Amino acid sequence: MMNSSKRLSRRKFLKNSGAAFVAGAVSTACLETLTGCSHNDKTSAPPQKSIVSDSNSASPDAASVRFSDITAAANLDFVQRNGTCKRRYFCEQVAAGAVLFDADGDGFLDIYFPQPKPIGICKKDYLQPLKHRLYINDGKGRFTLKENAFGGMETDYGISAAVGDFDNDGHPDLYVCCYGKDRLFRNRGDGTFEDVTDKAGVGLGGFSTGATWFDYDNDGHLDLFVCRYCEWTVDKDDPCTNKDGSPDVCSPTHYLASLCVLYHNNGDGTFTDVSLKAGVGKVARRSLGVAAADFHNSGRLDLFVANDMGPNFLYRNMGGGKFEDVAAEEGVALGQKPEPLANMGVAVGDYNEDGYLDIAVTTFAGEPYTVYRNEGGKYFTDVSVPVGIAEPTVPMLGFGAVFFDSRNIGRLDLFFANGHVNPYIEGFDPTTKLKQPNQLFLNNGSGHFDWIKDALPANDVRIHKGACWGDIDNDGRIDLLVTASNDRPTLLHNDCPQRNWLMIQLTNKHGCCTPIGAKCIATIQGKEKMRVVLGGGSYGGDSDFRIHFGLGDATRVEKLDIHWLSGGKQTLTDVAANQILKVKEHV
């Protein structure tokens, strides 16, 4: 994230740099219509058609796309604190996310919320301890706080979490990124966890913001990559001011950037730091979001890392335990203009159904979000403007980002969780807002994303942070969980018209129930679509590890090819719609 003076100069740069973006008045007017400004404002400055789609044209079903806020009914109506007090600390800007995963193995997605504990002088403002939380889904629409899920063990300032079955026992385990010591919690299988951090040797100190599990050397054991932000500490929390003199935390560039960490899983419950040897621990940047996926269809998992105020990493897996950063040569290091953006969250999915995984990235206000189209595994093209993402996202500051098929019609849509990080922003910058609406963009099937602003609850205008997708009630429609800064989370139930679907829950031959990198290619009405088990992605936590296909009118999948990371392949034919299929890799 940028400080204000830097941000404004970049905004001016964008505005002066040509016709690619409509900065300033139009975008601001558009935002205001969403954030509840008066009808007069709407009349005087209507959003352009290119910004908010005409629901009768590109996406004829857009009017039926609805997500309803079921947070209170689901018993999730609590405030996830960020530890703030009269003193605002630097780390509050990136806290906190959540993760959807089936902690107790009953087939329904549960939710883990990391909890940022008060630090520094804020400790004395909190009389009750702030606890990280595991909520168990009863399958009937209610979540119940599981007391003592962690045996009373609290974390340091929890920011995000990564789910992975690192010991291949069929129970998904949890790595929690913190300012302070990170934690590895091993799932006993019943939704209770033991702290195995010290035995595993993965309890980094410092400032971890995101992580993903992935088996980079294909030895059957999930390895762990951890994003590190910067060398800020409570004791080094310097005061800075905004342009108008209001107090602010300093820009991230005020602090030295940090090195990411790669741990190799030794297969015996211990891990070895291989960052330097693997080539991912050499260049320090401010890393936030990370996704592990095979962007080159090489059979090996690469890493895309969204870096704040610096070029992104695309660590290409060269085999032999080595990675090379190919972000610059493959075109994902920078934004539309050849300069680094403030990148936060990352979405990964094959939105144009060509068999290669594309990338979307959220950025700071004043910058467009980015969509990088994968050109046959060779390089990426920044298509943010032609796909319609650039212009509507200029006023937004985004963290969470996911590709998912909201309508069950076989198209990957895009969801962004938005909200500013500076509580004083509106005092000196009229082009953005502190509290922002989230955005859902529908994929029109021919290369364009249409922003459908009526799909999400109109009053959900807050400082959003993490986002994850998952089918919380197993009705085949993908729901969304969004967190917000020092605010309640939002659970959004997908109310789209019921269409056919197929979900596939994969377990690999090693017994791992989160087989990151496995991919399914379904032939649906003669067309092939690829979906993968993604590691990480978005910001703040993993999404549903089940593979999901929207089938539209199709009642069967003609052919389902399952490609395992081991290189093995299984093919199923004539698979009936509307079921959660469990598939184990053949040994």
Contact set with Ca ion (CB under 5 A):
102, 104, 106, 108, 110, 165, 167, 169, 171, 173, 215, 217, 219, 221, 223, 471, 473, 475, 477, 479
Q: How far is the CB of 151 from Ca ion (least distance, A)?
A: 16
DSSP state of 342: B
Q: Which residues pair with 341 in a beta bridge?
A: none
The span from the CA of 334 to the CA of 340, in Å, is: 5
Residues with Cβ < 8 Å from 195, sequence gap 6 or more? 150, 151, 153, 183, 184, 185, 186
Q: How far is the CB of 110 from Ca ion (least distance, A)?
A: 4
Which C-beta is closer to Ca ion: that of 156 or that of 544? 544
Q: How far is the CB of 324 from Ca ion (least distance, A)?
A: 18
Which C-beta is closer to Ca ion: that of 217 or that of 350? 217
Q: How far is the CB of 428 from Ca ion (least distance, A)?
A: 42
Residues with Cβ < 8 Å from 228, sequence gap 6 or more? 204, 206, 207, 208, 209, 258, 259, 260, 261, 287
- At 339, the amino acid letter reads E
Q: How far is the CB of 467 from Ca ion (least distance, A)?
A: 16
DSSP state of 121: G
Which C-beta is closer to Ca ion: that of 335 or that of 550? 550
In contact, 485 and 540? CB cutoff 8 Å: no
| Nearest in space to 309 (alpha carbons), one of 351, 263, 367, 268 | 367
Q: How far is the CB of 109 from Ca ion (least distance, A)?
A: 6
Which C-beta is closer to Ca ion: that of 61 or that of 473? 473
Which C-beta is closer to Ca ion: that of 162 or that of 344? 162
494 backbone dihedrals φ, ψ, rounded to 5°? -80, 115
DSSP 290-311: EEEE-TTSSSS-EEEEEEBTSP
The span from the CA of 504 to the CA of 580, in Å, is: 6
Residues with Cβ < 8 Å from 78, sequence gap 6 or more? 133, 488
DSSP 350-389: -TT-SSS-EEEE---TTS--EEEEEETTTEEEE-TTTTT-
Which C-beta is closer to Ca ion: that of 222 or that of 357? 222
Which C-beta is closer to Ca ion: that of 198 or that of 329? 198
Sheet holding 358-361, edge to edge: 346-349, 358-361, 370-375, 379-382
Which C-beta is closer to Ca ion: that of 234 or that of 580? 580
148 alpha-carbon distance from chain centroid: 27
User: Which helix (H) or strand (E) is 481 found in, with range?
Assistant: strand 479-484
Which C-beta is closer to Ca ion: that of 31 or that of 211? 211
Structure tokens that stand for 137 in this block: 């889904």
Task: Categorise residue 408: left if φ over 0, alpha if ψ from -120 to 50, beta otherwise.
Answer: left
Which C-beta is closer to Ca ion: that of 112 or that of 232? 112
Sheet holding 439-443, edge to edge: 398-404, 413-418, 439-443, 449-451
Which C-beta is closer to Ca ion: that of 219 or that of 558? 219
In sign, the C-alpha dihedral spanning 141, 349, 541, 512 is: positive
Q: How far is the CB of 138 from Ca ion (least distance, A)?
A: 9
Q: Which residues pair with 289 in a beta bridge?
A: 306
| Nearest in space to 544 (alpha carbons), one of 568, 571, 516, 512 | 516
Q: How far is the CB of 472 from Ca ion (least distance, A)?
A: 6
Q: Give the CA distances from residue 158 to residues 48, 290, 361, 416, in Å, rounded to whole numbers and listed in that order.
A: 41, 17, 23, 22
Which C-beta is closer to Ca ion: that of 308 or that of 479? 479
- At 305, the amino acid letter reads V
N-term to C-term CA, the chain: 47
Which C-beta is closer to Ca ion: that of 108 or that of 415? 108
The span from the CA of 190 to the CA of 232, in Å, is: 37
